[in-house]
Structure formats: structure tokens, C-alpha cells
Amino acid sequence: MSETLSQGRIQVEHNQIRVLAEPQDLPPTLIVARHPSLHVLVDGVEVVGRVQVHAFQEIQVSVIDVEPYREIRIQVSPDTLHATLEIEYQKGQHFRLGDSPPTAVCLLHVIQEAVLPQPYTRSDVRQLLAEQRIVEGVDWEAIDSLLASGESGSCVCASGTPPVDGLPERVTILVQPVHEPLYGIVPVRPILSVQKGISVAKRLPEESGEAGVSVYGTAIPPYTPPAKLPRIGDGLAENDEGVFISVRGGRVIHRPDLLDVAPTLEFNESLTAKQGHVQFDGDVLVRGNVEQGVEIAASGQVFVQGIVSRAKIVGDAGIIISGGVFQSELYAGLRYHCLQELYHFLQDFLQEWQIFQSAVERLQEAVKTRGSEISHARIVASLLADKYREILVWPTRFQEFIESHPTLDLGPWLGRLRRAGEWMRQAYLESTTIQRWVLHRTEVEKWLSVIENWEVSAELAAIQCAYAQSSDLRAAGDVDITHQGVYQCRVWAGGTVKALGKPGVILGSNIEAGLAVFAKIIGSHAESITRIHLRQEDGCQVSADLVYPGTIFIVDDFPHHVQHEWRQCVWPVPATKDS
């Protein structure tokens, strides 16, 4: 009679696995699920899944716990004015095997228990503050609130006292624009004008700051920025109290690089051709219209409170017109290159004159040393007839320079150049003393200084008008059409062209912009040819509410013809990530 085999069993108790079986018994089955913190080895070999174990085999159990973690630290800002307490807690995990009674098939299951880290206390924070020597402005209320939460977080645990920066020597403006800007002038650019004898600005001395205190309790010295004073123009005079008084009436120029009162030429009526052209070294204000045949050239800004019709205006610092522009030419800030040419021309002139003057002085000294008497006129004539005959070419060179540049580009320099040309005629050189020459050369040096300091920013050299038709508008800065729009015009802008008024139309025009073109409507139902030219692709764009067919966008000499109505147009079309 055969003997029946007994079934072995497995028991789990206190994280131990025991095999309850005799060698001849059937082996029980152990099921080990995969778990990152549980490792079961049978005779030194790790097992996972179902495995039969015998009484003679050794079973080892390893359960790996994750201990709780905590960290406390204090970060001090680079300026040492703030210290931040940071606390980080991470829960731990303890694992054990669940107990199981003796069974033929035993499935191991892992019991997980969370373990909280020990919370930090005031003593811990106080010790850390002492270690880092933080003593100033400790905020125990914020610290206690963070500690009481028992969670990870941060708070500003200490704050120093920031230093009060000093003030450098500076100039402050004492006058303000009038509350009601002149009628027709765009309100966003009010005119700050003064009469002669007005206190325009004041020089303020350097002011010391106050030292601060760091979270370490040490002093933080105050910072005083370096002084950046503007150049003071000849329209202002400084008195003993550091107050700048206007020596003439005009517009106040207040820029980081210049403080001055620019002279203003005012016309209280419309300008007509019978009144002649206007050339002025300063601002020009016309309280009326600029009519057919009139030409205005100003080194400052030109303000017109009416319309401009069949006229030409040059404003080195900008042009602002309250009304429209018809069949006219407007140029803002475009005389820079002409003046640069003039600067080098006058430098050459001074250099040659200095060489000639030195030769005359040497010859006079030699004659004096020999005890001879030769008149100044004879000495000059002898040198001009021989080695220095090129000096006599200068009157012709001045005339050629004048003729090669438009009258409006030269503006107030026209008369100066003609006068300098007369100085170089032989009769004048023979009849005037060297002392007179020195005065003339000093005057030319002042002209060079004026050109050196002639700084008109492109942002200010803009054109503003309500609308323009059949006109040529060119500005180093922006061209801003504030009302109806632009019709059959040529527009060139170093910056932006804007037509955002009502209706804000650009129609039948050639527009060229250095930065962008903004309009409400470009073109018309009649598909009138309208060209918009961007001088570069990067960073430039055309933006309009509506663009009609017949419009041509051009960039890098490549045209894009608009074939259909285009609403909410932005061109060039921004590239997408997929393109």
C-alpha cells in the first residue's frame, strides 16, 4: 500500500519566512511579487514570482526602508539685504512583510508605513542664524509661521536696511509746458517755450546718501551715480546761484546731451511767395498757412498751424503741421550729411590758411631781422604769386560747394560760406592784417564747433501732419499722419510710417520705411497701385486692418502682390514652428 505524501507549508511572521515541512513532504509554493524594497533570496539566489521551496533550503528576507529627510538652510542675497530661510521635508517609508499563517501557497505582501521627519524648532533656526552671523532684522514672526506649518517652504527670515543712494550733480528744469498747447500742434508734443530773462533750469549740487545695514549688521555704503550733465547751449547763461537764465526767447531744448533755448522765428500770418524764403538758425513757427512758392529752412523744428500747399520745408529737428500737405516737399533731419561734408571742407580750408599765415609770419620776421622794410601787401603778393597761388582758388571752391548743394540744405550757412570766400580774394588778403586773419579763423573754428555739436536725434527729426496728398515726405525719424491719410505721395522714413487716424488710408503712394508701416487701410476697391517697401526683413513689418488688391509689399527687392482682400494683415507673415 503506497504512502501518501504530506503537503509542506510556509509561515510568515515578524519579517521571517519559515518552511514547515519534512524532507519527504511536498514543497510549498512561495509567490514573491516584484517590489523595489523587497528582496527574497533562496540559497543565496534572489527569486521573483512563483517558486517551490524545500525544508532544507535557506530563505533570507531583506526589506529596505527609505528614511525621512530634512534640510534647513539660509540663503543671503548678493546685496546682503535679505536672508531667506528654506526648509525642506521629505517623508520616509518603512516596509515590512505582512504576517501569514501556515499555508501551502504563500503570497508575500509588503506593508508600507509613512515616517515623518522630525520638525525643526526655533533652537535649530537660532543656531543656524548664529553660525552664519545673521543678526540684523530677524523676523521671528515669519520664522515661527513657517515652523508651525510643518511643511517645506521658505520665508524672509532677516532684512537689513537698504542704503539711500546719493544724487549726483544735476540740472533740473524750472519751467513747464503751457497747459494749452498751441492750436493745431499735436498735444503729445507740447512746446516748452520761454521769453528772455526766464529762469529755465538750476544746477543742483551732489547730495550724499545714507549708509544701510546688512543682515550681518555691517554698514553698506551708499552709491552716488556719476554726474552726466548736458552741454549748455548759448541760449542760456548761468548766474552765481547756479540758475540758468534764458538770454533769448525761444523753445527750450532739454535732452540728456543738451540744454538750450533755441531761437524761435514767429510769423503771425500765412506765408506767401511775395514775403520771400525763410532761412533761420532755430525754430520757425507759422501761425497760418504756408502757401505756393514758399521755402522754409530751419536748423530746429518747423511748426505750421495751418496747411502747406505747393511749398518746401526743411526742418533739421522735425516738422509738425496741424493741417494737410498738398503738392509739397517736407524734409526732416536730412541735412546731416551735408553738414558733415561742410565740416571736412572747412577743416581743409583752415589747414591751408594756417600754413599760408605761418609762411607770411616767417617772411615778415626774416625781413625784420635783416632790417629791411617790406609792406604786408608786398609779402602777401609775392607768396601768392609763387608757392601759395592755390590759396586764391578758395573763392572758387566756396562757390562750387554752394552750387553743388541745395540752398535749403545749406540754410544759414549760405551767407557764411560766401563771406569766407571773400576773405580769400587777393585784394582782401593784401589789405588786412594777420590779426584780422586770426579773428576770421577763430570765427571758422566756432563754425566747426557748431557742426560738431549739431546733434538731432532721429526720433525727434520726424514729420507730423493731418494728411498728405501728391507730396514728397522724407524724415530721418518717423512720419506720422494723424487724420485722413496719405494719397499719391512719396514717403521715406528712417523709422516708422503711421496712418492710424480716421480713416487712416495709404492709397496710390510709394512708402519706404526703415522699421514698420502701420495703417488702418492700404489701397482701395479700385486696386490703385500702392507700394510699401521695407528696407530690411528682420524686425520690420507692415500691419493694417485691411489691405486691398493692387498693393505691393517689397522687401530685399522681392515683391509680394496682394491678390485678395487681406484683413488684419501682418506682413511678412511670422514663421511658425513647423515652417
pLDDT tens track for 190-245: 457 787 889 999 999 999 999 999 999 999 999 999 998 999 988 999 999 999 99
The pLDDT value given to residue 407: 66
Q: Kindly give the pairing relationship between strand 92-97 and strand 110-115.
A: antiparallel
Judged against a pLDDT cut of 80, whether residue 272 lies above it is answered with yes
Judged against a pLDDT cut of 50, whether residue 309 lies above it is answered with yes
Q: What angle do CA 310, 315, 318 make, to 5 degrees?
A: 110
Distance CA 292, CA 307 (A): 11
Share of the chain above pLDDT 70, in %: 93
The pLDDT value given to residue 214: 95
Distance CA 459, CA 479 (A): 10
| Confidence band, pLDDT 50/70/90 cuts, at residue 454 | low
Question: For the ranges 247-261, 440-454, 473-487, which has the lowest average pLDDT?
Answer: 440-454
Non-local CB neighbours of 222 within 8 Å, separated by 6+ positions = 163, 164, 165, 166, 208, 209, 210, 211, 212
The pLDDT value given to residue 49: 92
Give tens-digit pLDDT for 525-558: 888 899 999 987 677 899 999 999 999 999 888 8
Choose between 454 and 73: higher pLDDT.
Answer: 73
Distance CA 437, CA 418 (A): 16
SS3 labels along 456-492:
CCCCCCCEEECEEECCEEEECCCEEECCCEEECCEEE
The pLDDT value given to residue 187: 34
| CA neighbor of 340 nearest in space, from 196, 450, 464, 239 | 450
Q: How many residues does the chain have?
A: 579
> What torsion, rounded to 10 degrees, do the Cα atoms 139, 140, 146, 150 define?
160
The pLDDT value given to residue 290: 96
The pLDDT value given to residue 183: 34
Residue 299 DSSP SS3: coil
Judged against a pLDDT cut of 80, whether residue 150 lies above it is answered with yes
- pTM (predicted TM-score): 0.49
Instruction: Give domain limits for the chain.
Output: 1-160, 170-259, 264-335+458-571, 336-446
The pLDDT value given to residue 337: 65
